[in-house]
Chain A
C-alpha cells in the first residue's frame, strides 16, 4: 500500500517535471530570435556547424569580412574552400574564441583576421554580444567568449538559458518564430552576407580627433593570443584591413598594426591602399556609401584575395575534388538564386543580363 503511494507520487512528480521542463524548452525555442528576417547577422555563427569542416581559409572578424569577401568567387575562380566566421561588430576576443572553436573541428591553412575591431577594448553593446555568441556551440571556447564579452549588466545565466533574456519577446513574435522553432534556414553563403544594391560613397566623413590613438591592452592581448594560437596549430595568420571608408581608419592605427605585423613577421594587407589593384570603385561597389561592399565589391576583393592566396601563400586549387564540387554545386546555385532575387528586389533585374 505504502509502496503504491510512493510509486504514485514518483509518477506524479516525474510527469509534472517533464511537462514543466518540456513547456519551458518549447517556450525557449519559440522566444529566442531566429535571425531569418530583417537582422540576419545573428544567424551566421551557428551556420558553420552544419558544414563539412575542411576549409583552407577561415576569415574571422566583423562586418568588414562577412560583407566584403565572397567565398563563392574564391571557390569558383580559385578552387579555395573558405568560410567566414563573422558577425556584427564582432569584437577581437570573440574572433579569437571563434577561431579557437573552429580549430576544435579543423586546421585550415590560413586564418584571415580583419583588424578593425582592435579599436574596441571592451564590448560596446549587448545586442552584438548576443549575435556573436548565441550561435556558438557549447564548449570551453564559448564559455570563455561569453565571460570575455559580457557587459556589467549581463548575466552568464542568460546565455545558458536564453529564455531569461528573451522572456518578454512574446509580444513581438512573428510567423517566422513558429516556422523556424526547431530548424532554421541558411541566410549566409559560407558566412558571406550578400547585398547587391548600390549606394555610392559620396560624402565620406573624416575621423574625429581622438585623445589617445593607442589600441587598448585587452585588444592587443587577444591579437597576441590569436597569433600564438595560429603558431601553435600551424595556421598562417594574415591580418587585413577591409576597404571600408568608415568607421575612419586613422594613420596612427595603421602604424601600430604595421609595426605589429613587422615585429612578428605577419602578412598585413590594407585594402584601403589597394583600390587600384582590387578595382574597387566606391561609386558602384558599396551598398551603404562606403561602409560595406556590395556583391560587386565583395567579388572583386575575393578575386584579389584568391590571387594572393595562391600566388603568395601557395594554396592549392581544389576544384578537382569531387566531394567538394558536389558541395559547392548547391552553394553556387543558392548564391545565384539569391543574387537574382535581390536584383529583382532592388529593381536591378536588367543587370542580370537577361
Chain B
C-alpha cells in the first residue's frame, strides 16, 4: 500500500477519524493495530520478520536493563563489603552478560537482514568465483521475499537496543508500545530511522485534535505528494529511458540522465519523508526531520550532514564512534603513530573508521557492487577533501575566494559531485556506470540537448514545462526556508483567501499534473527498496 494509492488515502481517512474519536489512552493502541494492518496488507508473510525483531529486541533490552538494575542494587547493598577490585570484577562480569545479550540479539537481527537482503548477492559472487576457477558447481539462490522496510525497522530497533545497553534510554516495559515504535507505519516505507528517545516523546502521548497542527500536517503531506507525483514520477520516464539502454544513450544523454536522476531522487525521497512527517503531524506525533536543504551544501561533508540525516547519524553513533574507540582501533592508532608519525598516525584510524561506515552505508543501500562502490566513492571524495583542506585554505587566502558567487559555485560543484556519485545508483553494473561516465567526456552529441532529441526520452514538451515549474517551485520553497524558516508559517500569516488559494492551487496541481493512474507507470518510492 503505497502512500500514493487510493487505498492508502482511504486507510488514512478512516484512521484519522478513528484516532480522534477513540479514548485518548487508546490512541497508541489504535496506531499499533493500524501499523500491523498496513504491514499485513503489504505482505502477510512479512509479519513474521517484524515480529521476530520486535520480540527479540524487546526481550534483550529488558534483560540488559534488568541486569544493569540488579548490578546497581547489588553494588548499593554490598557497598561496604566489596573491595574496589571486587566491585570492578563484578561490574565486568555483568557487563559481559549484557554484552552477550546485545551481541546475540544483534547477530540474530542482522543475520535475518543479511539472509533476506544479501544472501543471493553473496551466492552470485561465490558462483562468479567458482566459474572463474572453472568449476561447474553453482550454488542455488534463495527465493526469499524482501520484507518491506526491513532495513529501516531493523536499524531503528538495533539503535534502541544499543541505547538501552549504553544506558541512554530506559527499556520500554510494555511490549505493545515497543511494537508500535518498531512498526509505526508512516516510517516503515522509507524511514526516517527514528530514535526511541525522540519518537517516544509524542508517539505514546494522548493527542487532542488541534486544527492548526492537523492542517499543517495535511499541508506537509500535500507538498510531499507534489514532489513525488508531479516531479519524481514524471521525470522517471526520462531516467528509465536513458539508463535502461546505456549503449544507446551515451555522452550528453548521460549528463541529462544524471541530472534527471538526482532531481528524481530528491523529489522522491524528500517528498516521501514530507508525507511521513505530515501524516505523523496530523496525529500530533513528531517525527524527526531527515533533510536540511541538502543541495545548498558547499561540500560533500556538509551534504552528508543535510541528506538522510537519520541514517547518517545512525551510522555515526552506532558504527563510527564505536569503531573509533574500539580496542583494536586504539592499538592501530598507537601503531600508526609510531610507524607514520604523529600527524599521519592520528588521521589513519579516522580514515579506517570512516571506511567502515561508508562500506556499511553502501551495503545498507542495496545488495550490489554498485552500492558498495558508491559508498566507497563517497568515502574517497570525503577523505580527499579532508587531505586537500590546507590547499583549499591557501587558495582561498591567495585569491580571496569568498562571497556569494563563490558560495554558489561551491554549491554547484557539490551538486555535480553528488550527481556523479549517484550514477552508481542508476546503472545496472559498475562497468556500465564507468562506461556511461567516461562517455560524457568524449561526447560529440551535445546537440541532442537542443535539437529535440530530448523529446524522445518519454517526456513531451509539456512534461518538460511541468518539470521546470516543479523544480523551480521546489527551489523557491528551499530558498524561502533557507532565508526565513517555515514556509507554512509564512503562508499561515497571509489573509485567508490567499492561504486558501495557495493550498487549493497546490492540491489542483497534484490532482491535474500528478503522474498517476492509467497511462502512467506509478513507481514505488526509491528508498522503499532499501
Residues from chain A with Cβ under 8 Å of B395 in the complex: none
Q: How far is the CB of A154 from chain B (nearest CB, A)?
A: 7
Contact B518 A153 (CB under 8 A): yes
8 Å CB contacts to B: which residues of A110-130? 126
For A164, list chain B residues within 8 Å (CB).
6, 511, 517
The prevalent SS among residues of A at the interface is helix
Chain B residues, Cβ within 8 Å of A170: 512
- Taking the complex as formed, is B217 at the interface, i.e. its CB lies under 8 A from any CB of chain A? no
Which A residues lie within 8 Å of B271 (CB)? none
Asked if A155 is at the interface of the complex by the 8 Å CB criterion, the answer is yes
| CB of A165 within 8 Å of the partner chain | yes
In the bound complex, residues from chain A placing their C-beta under 8 Å from that of B512 are: 27, 167-168, 170
- List which A128-146 residues lie within 8 A (CB) of chain B: none
From B500, B513, B517, contact of A158 by CB (8 A)? B517
Q: Are A12 and B518 also in contact (CB < 8 A) when A20-B504, A155-B6, A171-B462 are?
A: no
Instruction: Decide if B511 touches A154 in the complex (CB within 8 Å).
Output: no
Residues of A within 8 A of B519 (CB): 168
Q: Please measure, in the bound complex, the distance between the C-alpha atom of A20 and the C-alpha atom of B512, giving whole angstroms.
A: 14
A16, B504: Cα distance in complex, Å? 10
CB distance from B47 to the nearest CB of A (A): 25
**A5 CB-CB contact with B under 8 Å:** no
The distance from the CB of A164 to the nearest CB of chain B, in whole angstroms, is 6
A23 to B518 Cα, complex, angstroms: 23
**Residue tally, chain A, CB below 8 Å to B:** 19
Residue of A nearest to B501 (CB): A19
Q: Which one of B6, B504, B514, B517 has the greatest number of beta carbons of chain A within 10 Å?
A: B517
- B399 an interface residue at 8 Å Cβ cutoff? no
CB within 8 Å of B: which A153-175 residues: 153-155, 157-158, 163-165, 167-168, 170-171
User: Do A23 and B514 touch across chains, with their CB atoms under 8 A apart?
Assistant: no
Bound CA span A19–B519, Å: 30
Interface members, chain B 334-354 (any A CB < 8 Å): none
Q: What residues of A have a CB within 8 angstroms of the CB of B513 in the complex?
A: 167-168
- B496: CB under 8 A from chain A? yes
Q: CA of A170 to CA of B512 in the docked complex: distance in angstroms?
A: 8
Residues of B within 8 A of A153 (CB): 518
- Chain B: CB-nearest residue to A153: B518
Complex Cα–Cα for A157 and B518 (A): 13
Query: A16 touches which one: B500, B508, B518 (CB < 8 A)?
Result: B500
Residue numbers in B under 8 Å from A163 (CB-CB): 511
Chain B residue nearest in CB terms to A164: B517
Which A-chain residue is minimally distant from B499 (CB atoms)? Answer: A16
Chain A residues contacting B496 (CB-CB under 8 Å) are 12
Q: In whole angstroms, what is the CA distance A158 to B517 when docked?
A: 9
Q: How far is the CA of A315 from the CA of B514 in the complex (A)?
A: 55
Give B504's nearest chain A residue, CB to CB: A20
Inter-chain contacts of A23 with B (CB < 8 A): 504, 508
**Residues of A with C-beta under 8 A to B6:** 155, 157, 164
Q: Kindly identify which residue among A16, A19, A155, A167 contacts B514, using a CB–CB cutoff of 8 Å.
A: A167
Complex Cα distance A27/B508, Å? 10
Instruction: Tell me, in angstroms, the Cα distance from A157 to B511 when the chains sit together.
Output: 14
Q: Which A residues lie within 8 Å of B462 (CB)?
A: 171
Q: Mark A17-38, 1 if CB is under 8 A from B, else 0.
A: 0011001000100000000000
Chain B 489-519 residues near chain A, CB threshold 8 A: 496, 500, 504, 508, 511-514, 516-519
Complex Cα gap A171–B511 (Å): 14
Q: Known contacts A155-B6, A157-B6; decide if A167 and B500 are in contact (CB<8 Å).
A: no
A126-B518 in contact (CB<8A):
yes
Which A residues between 164 and 221 are near B, CB-CB below 8 angstroms? 164-165, 167-168, 170-171
Q: Whole-angstrom distance between the alpha carbons of A259 and B514 in the complex?
A: 52
Q: Which residues of A contact B500 (CB under 8 A)?
A: 16, 19
Residue of B nearest to A31 (CB): B512
Q: How far is the CA of A154 from the CA of B6 in the complex (A)?
A: 12
Contact A167 B511 (CB under 8 A): yes
Shortest distance between the CB of A80 and any CB in chain B (Å): 40
Closest residue of B by beta carbon distance from A170: B512
The 8 Å CB contact of B517, one of A16, A165, A171, is A165
Task: Report the separation of the CA atoms of residues A155 and B518 in the bound assembly, to the nearest whole angstrom.
Answer: 9
For B511, what are the chain A residues with a Cβ–Cβ distance below 8 Å? 163-164, 167
Given contacts A12-B496, A168-B512, contact A154 B504 (CB under 8 A): no
Q: List, in ascending order, chain B residues with CB within 8 A of A19's CB.
A: 500, 504
Interface residues of B in 266-289 (CB under 8 A from A): none
Nearest chain A CB to B16 CB, angstrom units: 17
8 Å CB contact of A165 from B504, B508, B518: B518
The digit string for B457-501, where 1 denotes a CB below 8 A from any CB of A, is 000001000000000000000000000000000000000100010
Q: Which residues of B contact A155 (CB under 8 A)?
A: 6, 517
Instruction: Write the nearest CB–CB distance from A112 to chain B, whole angstroms.
Output: 33
* Min CB gap B444→A, angstroms: 35
Q: B82 to nearest A CB, angstroms? A: 67
Residues of A within 8 A of B514 (CB): 167
Residues of B within 8 Å of A168, CB to CB, are 512-513, 517, 519
Task: Report how far A19 CA is from B504 CA in the complex, Å.
Answer: 10
Closest to A172 in B: B462
**Complex CA distance for A154 and B500, rounded to whole angstroms:** 32
Q: Which residue of A lies closest to B515 (CB)?
A: A168
Contacts of A167 in B (CB 8 A): 511-514, 516-517
Q: Besides A19-B500, A167-B516, 19 other CB < 8 A contacts?
A: A12-B496, A19-B504, A20-B504, A23-B508, A27-B508, A27-B512, A154-B518, A155-B6, A157-B6, A158-B517, A158-B518, A165-B517, A167-B511, A167-B512, A167-B514, A167-B517, A168-B513, A168-B517, A171-B462
Chain A positions within 8 Å of B, measured between CB atoms, are: 12, 16, 19-20, 23, 27, 126, 153-155, 157-158, 163-165, 167-168, 170-171
Could you list some 7 contacts between A and B, CB below 8 A? A19-B504, A126-B518, A157-B6, A158-B518, A165-B517, A167-B511, A167-B516
The 9 closest A-B pairs by CB, nearest first: A157-B6, A167-B512, A171-B462, A16-B500, A126-B518, A167-B511, A170-B512, A155-B6, A20-B504
